[in-house]
Structure 1
Amino acid sequence: MLSKLPRDILLQDILILLDSKSLINLSLASTYFNYLVNNDQHIWKRLCFQEFNISQDNAFRNKGWKQLYIALLTDTKVFTWGENSDDRLGLTPTVTSDAFQLNIRNPRRRYSRTVTTPQEVVYLQDKGIIDITSGGWSFHALDSSGSVWMWGTMQQEISPRSSAGTRRLTTPTKIQATNHTQRKVTFSSISCGRAHVIGLARDGTVWHWSNHLMLQSVHLDLEPNEKIVQVVANWSYSTVLTNEGAIYVIPSPDLIIPSQVTVEPTPTYIVTPKVPMDIVQIAGLDGYTLALTKDSRVLKLDTRNHIEFSSNPELYTIELVHFSAKKPEVNYRDGSMNRFITGAFLNFAVYTKSGQVMLGEVNAGADTEPIVLPELQNRDVCKVSFGDYHFGALTNQGELLTWGAYSSGALGHGPDEEPEPKLVESMKDMFVFAIGFGGWQSSVLAIPTDNEQ
């Protein structure tokens, strides 16, 4: 009988091969199989990756993968809020009472300049959005098919004559790249800097762009068995990580002026050399890259000058000892992670399997002590996302907490600042599973809790 097989063989060699329907049917066969199916996180983590294109780097989930899988069976909703003077939030226009008083037959439509509570981006209903990230003035969202959607402005501070990235999209627009065979490129993960995006395609290729009209391929001189496993956007350039624990630093994409968009081919970049450092995860900051090693050391790499860093990485690397493990830990990208990192612009977070969340700033030195907010400890926080001056935390249970500067309402609490993490009341009836803060704006992906099974 199947139940007589050793548990390790069942979990690692048999159950891992089953689809979700077969797993659910097996869980009904006996109490024993019900326990195995419902409590093995690796099974449901794999299904989230395979069926919904979920990247393992988008959040630190040591549990709750089955809950997330079930949530993704329901159509997700996209919510944005914060600064909207340039219509960056992608919201449907609203008709104000003042407009009706001015001309009831032809009311003037306008967007709110600041949005202080989460509002749904109606255009993205039924699009299967599974991840979202935010730049300085824009949003990029990834759907389960691997397509990327963009809205807002990628390069607000550059003259329209200098870059196609200044074009403003008030409605989410699907963007795409084609490879040398003219096949559409589909993505497994994306990451936003201030005015550019980098993406890892499902075929292992890397692309970056500074406008939605031309995605530029990045050619890396990899070893025969080497492949890219993670890409992150720093503030103005990018860093990629390979399966061998090495990193490459990639300069920002070229600016494309509007007149070139329809006539110039997609440029290709060759970036060398790699820096082998036994790293399993990275996070992009302003001028620096945070790195987590296999043995749970947290490193800060000075990647501002990628040529100097690549030639002598030890000289430009420090260990943040108070963020590193005090006792032996091992992290496996394809298995269990005991420690995890995220970061953007001037801030970063380090998470531990025991439930600790440590916050740090880009200027942290080797002896800098972590910032520890009591509201985030032992609460199953799986991701902290960073705007310029406002911050958000997501828990495995789908709760959303925010704190920091008002930032045109980007906290979601109305007209108030919040120095300490506080639940966003308007999202309390939603299961939030992804979060993307940036600039003075915020975004999340969620489903109504009534739809959970």
Structure 2
Amino acid sequence: MREEIRRVNEALDELGDITKAYVSKDHPQVIPCHVWDMERVEPCQLPDIPEDLPHLAGAGLDRDLLDEETQIIKLAALDHVLIGLTNKGHVLRFNRLEDEATYRHGHWEYLPYFSELDKVSEHPVFSVGRLAPPSKMHITHVSASFETFTAYSTGPESVVLMSRTQTSNLGTQTLMQPHLKPTIIPSLQYRNVISVLLGDYHYGALTATGKLLTWGAFSKGALGLGDPANIDAGQPGGYHVKKQHPTTWRHRRLEDDESTPPDVRDPTEVHFNHGTEHKGKHAHVFAAAAAGWHMGALVIDLQQDASERDSL
């Protein structure tokens, strides 16, 4: 399919200005569309999901939802893989998407350790007493990027389940084992998470209380934790030991292990007063996004500056 799309794109490029659509003087508020023929490119229709998906006793579903047809309501895409989520909380994966031919040999696979309360409760984070297992679990969201996907619930007892794959020339399907089990970060559970953000090597979680937590690789500052040279040694986002060099990470070779801070293992709250005089100001994050080596957030200050108050 990618080859077909490339050929269609080249054909459209050869048409030049014919493919452009212009706003007319008579209707300046109307944005016109240009339609072209896509007969040679047909969408791939994936097979149906399994008919024998189990009843999820720990999801706390009401009778109306239980009586509905089980169907996929959300999708997330990572490298060569699709993650599907049903209306009843089943997490599925389809991992034969290397090219336009391999998908014909794939199928939806049910992931019980991302869907069932009793399976999740077997994870050492819950089973050895570090955290009490959740009383119920209904996965309502999935997200994915590059080599990582996550499935999570929301609310005060939010549970966040993650998995990181690896790609190679052998194909992704050989590297995602049956009965895939999640990575569960203890400090990320029961945090009222409402959104999980995934970059290539760094991650974030937004809570209902307006906090943004980040972890993973430094990625040129994508974690938002501040300049590593100004963070106490050993603290999240900082170096293992205090650097004596006068220059900061902005002026040094990031490829050098000595100049890149270690990965942040524990999700750490981002503060939005870097380089300001208002160290005590509080902020509320109401939206965030991540991809590649960057992250962004929409933030509002919860405290006014004195100058702002005086002007009112």
TM range (shorter): 0.5 to 0.7
Which residue does the alignment assign to 2:72?
279
Task: Report whether the alignment pairs 1:360 with 2:163.
Answer: yes
Corresponding residue number in structure 2 for 1:16: none
Aligned-pair distance for 1:349?
1.1
Residue in structure 2 matching 1:295, options 66, 82, 88: 88
Q: Which residue of 1 aligns with 2:68?
A: none
1:319 is aligned to 2:131? no
Kindly tell me: are residues 447 and 259 of structure 1, through their superposed partners in 2, closer, same or farther at Cα, counting changes over 3 Å? Answer: farther
Q: Which runs of 4+ in 1 moved over 3 A?
A: 250-263, 265-270, 272-276, 305-308
Please list, as runs of the form range in 1=range in 2, the aligned pairs for 1:17-28 lying within 5 A after superposition: none
Q: Aligned partners of 1:374 and 1:251: how far apart in 2?
A: 44
Taking the aligned partners of 1:384 and 1:261, their CA distance within structure 2 comes to 41
The residue that corresponds to 1:262 in the other structure is: 17
Q: State, as a whole percentage, how many aligned pairs show the same letter.
A: 28
Q: Could you list the per-position Cα deviations for residues 420-451 of structure 1 after superposition, in whole angstroms to 9, with x for gaps in the alignment?
A: 21011226722212221111111112222349
Q: 2:146 aligns with which of 345, 357, 361?
A: 345
What is the CA–CA distance in structure 2 between the aligned matches of 1:342 and 1:430, rounded to whole Å?
25
Mark the CA change 1:432 to 1:321 in structure 2 (over 3 Å): closer, same or farther.
Answer: same
**Per-residue CA shift, 1:92-132, capped at 9, x if unaligned?**
xxxxxxxxxxxxxxxxxxxxxxxxxxxxxxxxxxxxxxxxx
Structure 2 counterpart SS, 1:304: coil
1:120-146: CA deviation from partner (whole Å, max 9, x where unpaired): xxxxxxxxxxxxxxxxxxxxxxxxxxx
Match of 1:83 in 2: none
Q: CA deviation at 1:271?
A: 2.1
The within-5 A match list for 1:53-452 is: 255=9, 262-264=17-19, 266-269=35-38, 270-273=42-45, 275-277=47-49, 278-302=71-95, 303-309=97-103, 311=104, 315-326=106-117, 338-353=139-154, 354-362=157-165, 363-414=175-226, 415=228, 416=237, 417=261, 418-426=264-272, 429-450=282-303
Aligned residues: 194
TM-score normalised per structure 2: 0.53
State the superposition RMSD in angstroms.
Answer: 3.4
Change in CA separation of 1:356 and 1:411 when aligned onto 2, cut-off 3 Å: same
Unaligned runs of 5+ in 2: 20-33, 50-70, 119-137, 166-174, 229-236, 238-260, 274-280, 305-312
How far apart are residue 252 of structure 1 and its match? Answer: 8.2
CA distance in 2, matches of 1:289, 1:272: 13
Higher-Rg structure is 2
SS at match of 2:85: strand
RCO (CA 8 Å, sep 6+): is it higher in 1 or 2?
1
Q: Is the 8 A contact 2:47 2:108 kept in 1?
A: no
Larger fraction in strand: 1
Could you say what secondary structure the match of 2:150 adopts?
strand
Assess if the C-alpha contact under 8 Å between 1:297 and 1:324 holds in 2: yes
Superposed displacement of residue 369, structure 1: 1.9
Shift of 1:382: 1.3
Q: Does the Cα contact within 8 Å between 2:90 and 2:139 map onto a contact in 1?
A: no
Report the CA distance shift for 1:445/1:275 in structure 2 as closer, same or farther (over 3 A).
Answer: farther
Rounded Cα–Cα distance in structure 2 between residues aligned with 1:397 and 1:268: 48
* Partner secondary structure for residue 112 of structure 2: coil
Contact 1:300 1:317 survives alignment (8 Å): yes
Length-normalised TM-score, structure 1 = 0.38
Native 8 Å contact 1:319 1:366 kept in 2: no
* Distance in 1 of aligned mates of 2:212 and 2:192: 12
Given residue 370 of structure 1, which amino acid in structure 2 is its aligned partner? P
CA displacement at 1:273 relative to structure 2 = 3.3
Q: Is the 8 A contact 2:153 2:159 kept in 1?
A: yes
SS at match of 1:378: coil
Q: How far apart, CA to CA, are the structure 1 residues paired with 2:7 and 2:290? A: 22
Letter in structure 1 aligned against 2:216: G
Distance, in Å, in 1 between the alignment partners of 2:282 and 2:218 is 23
